Structure 1
């Protein structure tokens, strides 16, 4: 193999494809980056079996070939080279030589034939969606995935297409996040994508109107961004019927400025860091909400102006769960739907009806 490629093109392709490499595999070859050079195209693949990222870039291929190189050291070498053309060629046995200006590296490579093949997905496009919209939907739900491994299905995000609506849903037993978008497809889909996959997809998606094409098989999902393809296995099992968790009615409706509420809870939570509960109390009155927190560190009282429809209420929450939601919402004003001190709080935008968040309260010992 022998090729010439611009350093910045190499670096970008390496950075994208190595996002799939965890370094936790029992197969040493999966700690490497697969590189194939043919017809003036360089293909890079990073994989941990569950997630594979393939990306292509243009290069002058003098001799075609394929190799697997240590992902970490190869990435570091390319990153630290001057901004110029890089020559990569295989020399004796299992060595590649990387040259750029006055720098020359010799690096051991592995046998590309031992690299597991990427799942082959027939790309009958199920639907397309703007990259920026999907990126925003992932950001608006992924924080609510479960972190512990006792219920693996909850470590994923439900990807549901129904009646020309795409819903992304995540829940961890304490909160529920639902983000929705109208899309142009007649397909129905109900699959669960690992949170880790969507986290990496979100990093690769651009904030633009370019489309990402999405295809499913029984066991895998493919995100095609043109030069880059992301293939992930799907989680097995049935996702919780989330719609039954959302209360159909409420007794109180609070309208509040999102930023003022966010700032008040952030300040109150400074005193709530004693222990792991991050406990804050909300005293909801006719036209204001008093936020308090007491701990061994001291106490705090914050007041936020609100509009209340319904009776007054005292309720307590883990402040982290409220902050996670308020930080990613987009409207200036948000609605809080409540019924009692022991039933969930539903948070929505006032204007844009594209999300619902449910947060369980903390029961206070009387």
Structure 2
């Protein structure tokens, strides 16, 4: 194998493939990047068995060949080389020579035949989603994935397509996040994708409207971007019936400027660092929302103007849960729907139905 490639292009390809390499596998071969050089250029693959990422890199291939090379050392070498063409050539004794200007590295490589093959996925049945929309949907929900390993299904995001609507849903027992987009597709799909996978997909997606082709099997999902494919296993089991968690009615509705509310909560939470509760209290009044926090550090009082429908209420929350929601909403005005100090608060955008969030309050000992 002999090829010449621009350092920057090769480095970008390595960084993409490395997103699938966790370094936690008991198989040493999975700490490497699989590299195939053919007349079409380079194919780089990283995998941890659960997630595999394949990406294409253009190169001048002089002699075709395949190898697996340690991801960490290879990535570091390429990153530190001068910004010039890199020549890579397999020489004797299982060694690959990497040269660029006056730098020459000889590195041991691994047997590519030990590298696991990628799952075979039929790409005939697929849905198409613009990159920027999918990236935004993941960002709008992934913060609510459960970190607790006792319920593995909640460490994933529900990917649900029905009635021409794509819903991404995440919940962790304290909050629920739903993001909805219209999708021109007749498919009905309900699968649970590991949150870790979608976070890596989000890093690769760009803020552009070019299409991602998404294909499903019973066990895997494939995201196909033009030069990159991401294949992930799906989580086993049935997801929670999230619709049953959403209150069917409310007794009060608060309209408020999102940024003013976010700023007020951020300032109030500076005094809410005691323990892990990040406790703030909201006193919903006729024209104002009063945000307070008391701790050994001191106390704070913030006031935000609101429009209230219904009677006021006093309710407490973990400030981090509210901030996670507000930071991921792009609208200027938001709506909070509540019934009492012990029932969930539903947060929506005022002008669109594409966001829906539910946050449980903290019960106060009176």
What's the TM-score, normalizing by structure 2? 0.99
Moved over 6 A (4+): none
* 2-structure distance, mates of 1:40, 1:53: 18
Correspondence list, 1:79-90, <5 A: 79-90=79-90
Are residue 261 (structure 1) and residue 261 (structure 2) matched? yes
Which whole-Å deviations, capped at 9, do the CAs of 1:73-125 have from their partners, x for residues lacking one?
10011111111111100111210000111110011100000000111111114
Query: Where does the alignment leave 5 or more consecutive residues of structure 2 unmatched?
Result: none
Match of 1:172 in 2: 172
Q: Counterpart of 1:240 in 2: which secondary structure?
A: coil
* 2-structure distance, mates of 1:208, 1:92: 45
* 1-structure distance, mates of 2:119, 2:257: 48
Match of 2:341 in 1: 341
CA-CA distance at 1:148 after TM superposition:
1.3
CA-CA distance at 1:40 after TM superposition:
3.7
1:251–1:339 CA contact under 8 A, matched in 2: yes
* 1-structure distance, mates of 2:53, 2:132: 19
Correspondence list, 1:213-362, <5 A: 213-362=213-362
* 1-structure distance, mates of 2:44, 2:199: 20
* 2-structure distance, mates of 1:167, 1:126: 16
Match of 2:133 in 1: 133
Query: Where does the alignment leave 5 or more consecutive residues of structure 1 unmatched?
Result: none
* 2-structure distance, mates of 1:141, 1:260: 22
Are residue 109 (structure 1) and residue 102 (structure 2) matched? no
* 2-structure distance, mates of 1:267, 1:297: 13
Correspondence list, 1:4-19, <5 A: 4-19=4-19
Are residue 208 (structure 1) and residue 180 (structure 2) matched? no
* 2-structure distance, mates of 1:108, 1:350: 59
* 1-structure distance, mates of 2:89, 2:125: 37
Match of 1:154 in 2: 154
Match of 1:60 in 2: 60
Q: Counterpart of 1:140 in 2: which secondary structure?
A: helix
CA-CA distance at 1:58 after TM superposition:
1.3
* 1-structure distance, mates of 2:308, 2:290: 13
Q: Counterpart of 2:231 in 1: which secondary structure?
A: strand
Which whole-Å deviations, capped at 9, do the CAs of 1:1-31 have from their partners, x for residues lacking one?
1111111110111011110000000000001
Which whole-Å deviations, capped at 9, do the CAs of 1:287-326 have from their partners, x for residues lacking one?
0010000001111000000000001100000000000000
* 1-structure distance, mates of 2:331, 2:352: 7
Q: Counterpart of 1:266 in 2: which secondary structure?
A: helix
Match of 2:96 in 1: 96
What's the TM-score, normalizing by structure 1? 0.99
CA RMSD of aligned residues (A): 0.6
* 1-structure distance, mates of 2:315, 2:154: 27
1:126–1:185 CA contact under 8 A, matched in 2: no
Which whole-Å deviations, capped at 9, do the CAs of 1:152-181 have from their partners, x for residues lacking one?
000000000001000000000000000000
* 2-structure distance, mates of 1:311, 1:72: 60
Which whole-Å deviations, capped at 9, do the CAs of 1:28-62 have from their partners, x for residues lacking one?
00011100111141000000000000001111111
CA-CA distance at 1:126 after TM superposition:
1.8
Match of 2:143 in 1: 143
CA-CA distance at 1:234 after TM superposition:
0.2
* 2-structure distance, mates of 1:275, 1:9: 47
Match of 2:29 in 1: 29
